A = this chain, B = another copy of it.
Amino acid sequence: MSHKWIVGVDLGGTTTKIAFIQDNGEIILKWEIDTDNSDFGKNILKNISDSIDQKLETLKQTKEILVGIGLGAPGAIDLEKGLIYEAVNLGWENNYPIAEILGGVTGLPVVVDNDANCAALGEMWKGAGNGAKDLVCVTLGTGVGGGVIANGQIVHGIKGAAGEIGHITVIPENGAPCNCGKTGCLETVTSATGISRIATEAIHTYYNESKLKMIFENNSKISAKDVFDSAREGDQLAIEIVDKVAFYLGLALANIGNVCNPEKIIIGGGVSRAGNVLLNPLNQYFQNFAFSTVAQSTSIDIATLGNDAGVYGAAWLIKANLESK
């Protein structure tokens, strides 16, 4: 199949990324379309199919060149049936049968998995994972998501809720409420939203001079980026906030390490762009909280594929599926 192409689709709430990818991971073409979530999302898959047809025409190719479509979707997936239990931001309810519908309109084999899992597979295949068979990916964005790979396979668990790293409880008592209904989740203190929240709280009990305080006084808000930028410039308050973020993230990642001992824990998402100002204290706390063998053998790395991780990982679903036959 080496001359054939796999379609990788990363389905998001506002944008859908699509790519034609070769067996060896080389991208032939990569593009985006809007995700039309009107009318309970009934056009979404049809639009993907049409867009694929158009691009094939542009490239003067026929469907013959495609071996299948891998798709990452934002929600918990029934892998066997290729359906998503629910995806509120797409308008899909009641076990929407993605594989059946998309397979029907395109005539191609379709394999579906969760988008965070696809990002993890993408980093394993072509990104920071560099082929590692034991890998955990953590995405620190508006929320905190994750994907766990063990023995080269995604760990889904019994109901697809493996990798809910954002909902690891790091503050078991008196933690802030999380969107998930619990309190004290990792997401409440290490997502961009969470960092902004704890920074805003910290400002109100900090009585020294601070650049971060000035930013808040000027803009009436503070972003996670403000916190990292100020810390990098030596602002004491910002450094303390980053230290707190690193403490909780280091605790959670070390405990994941103590359970899975992955070769790499890969951090992606907007917050990961902070770089060393976060990584340095994070590595310190990780070393403190990890079992010695884990501290020595599990490394923390920054994701390298950025927004492309999803399409790579989605394509990998098809590649793995074909190779297992």
Q: List A residues at the B interface (Cβ < 8 Å).
A: 76, 132, 134, 146, 148, 150-151, 153, 155-165, 167-169, 172, 180-182, 247, 251-252, 254-263, 288-289, 291-294, 296-298
Known: A148-B260, A150-B151. 5 other contacts (CB 8 A): A134-B156, A151-B155, A157-B294, A157-B297, A161-B291
Please pick, from B254, B259, B293, the residue contacting A160 in the complex, using a CB distance under 8 A.
Answer: B293
Q: How many copies does the complex hold?
A: 2
Given A161-B294, A292-B181: A260 and B262 interface contact (C-beta under 8 Å): no
Q: Which residues of B contact A180 (CB under 8 A)?
A: 291-292
Q: Which residues of B contact A257 (CB under 8 A)?
A: 161
Given A162-B261, A164-B258, A260-B259: A155 and B182 interface contact (C-beta under 8 Å): no
CB atoms of B158 and A259 under 8 A apart: no
Alpha-carbon gap, A163 to B159, bound state (A)? 21
Alpha-carbon gap, A156 to B262, bound state (A)? 9
Q: Which residues of B contact A151 (CB under 8 A)?
A: 150-151, 153, 155
Q: Which residues of B contact A132 (CB under 8 A)?
A: 158
Q: Which residues of B contact A158 (CB under 8 A)?
A: 132, 134, 261-263, 297-298
Q: Which residues of B contact A167 (CB under 8 A)?
A: 258, 291
Alpha-carbon gap, A266 to B35, bound state (A)? 43
13 A-B pairs (CB sep. < 8 Å): A134-B156, A134-B158, A146-B259, A151-B155, A155-B260, A157-B294, A161-B261, A167-B291, A168-B258, A169-B289, A252-B255, A255-B255, A256-B259
Please pick, from B153, B165, B288, the residue contacting A259 in the complex, using a CB distance under 8 A.
Answer: B165
Question: What are the 8 A-B residue pairs with the smallest beta carbon separation, nearest first?
Answer: A157-B261, A161-B293, A159-B297, A167-B291, A162-B261, A158-B263, A161-B261, A150-B155
CB atoms of B168 and A255 under 8 A apart: yes
CB atoms of B157 and A134 under 8 A apart: yes
Alpha-carbon gap, A256 to B182, bound state (A)? 16
Alpha-carbon gap, A322 to B26, bound state (A)? 37
Q: Which residues of B contact A164 (CB under 8 A)?
A: 258-259, 261, 291, 293-294
